[in-house]
Amino acid sequence: MLDLGSFLVSMGLQKEMQNVRKEIDDAQVFGQEAPAAESTNAVVDAVSSTLETVENAASAVVSALTPPAGAVSSVLDSCATSAPTVDLSLPTSSTGKKQ
């Protein structure tokens, strides 16, 4: 899902960059000064907004996959806190001896 989001964001950035290049080329054709500062700010704002959106999406995914603290403590409280005991001593006399 994150890959799909990254793909869509990159496609949007490519389109934005093409628009900025076209504005600069149009300004140069008509003998105007290129609006470099404004277009750079627009690109920076677009990248910043995109990164913020990706960060928010990643944060939402992580918080959705992480259980709340109350659930974790209730599960840990219901678990056994001591290890089971096993008698590993060897028998000292044989009870099932054939004659």
Name the H helices within 36-96: 36-65, 69-78
Work out the average pLDDT over 56-83. Answer: 83
How confident is residue 32, by pLDDT bands cut at 50, 70 and 90?
low
* pLDDT band at 1; cut points 50, 70, 90: low
Contact, 12 vs 45, CB < 8 A? Answer: no
Query: Which pLDDT does position 66 carry in this prediction?
Result: 87
pTM across the whole model: 0.37
Collect contacts of 1-7 with beta carbons under 8 A, ≥24 apart. 1/61, 2/54, 2/57, 2/58, 2/61, 5/54, 5/57, 6/54
- Indicate the residue type of 68: P
Which of 62, 39, 54, 55 has its CA nearest to residue 8?
Answer: 54
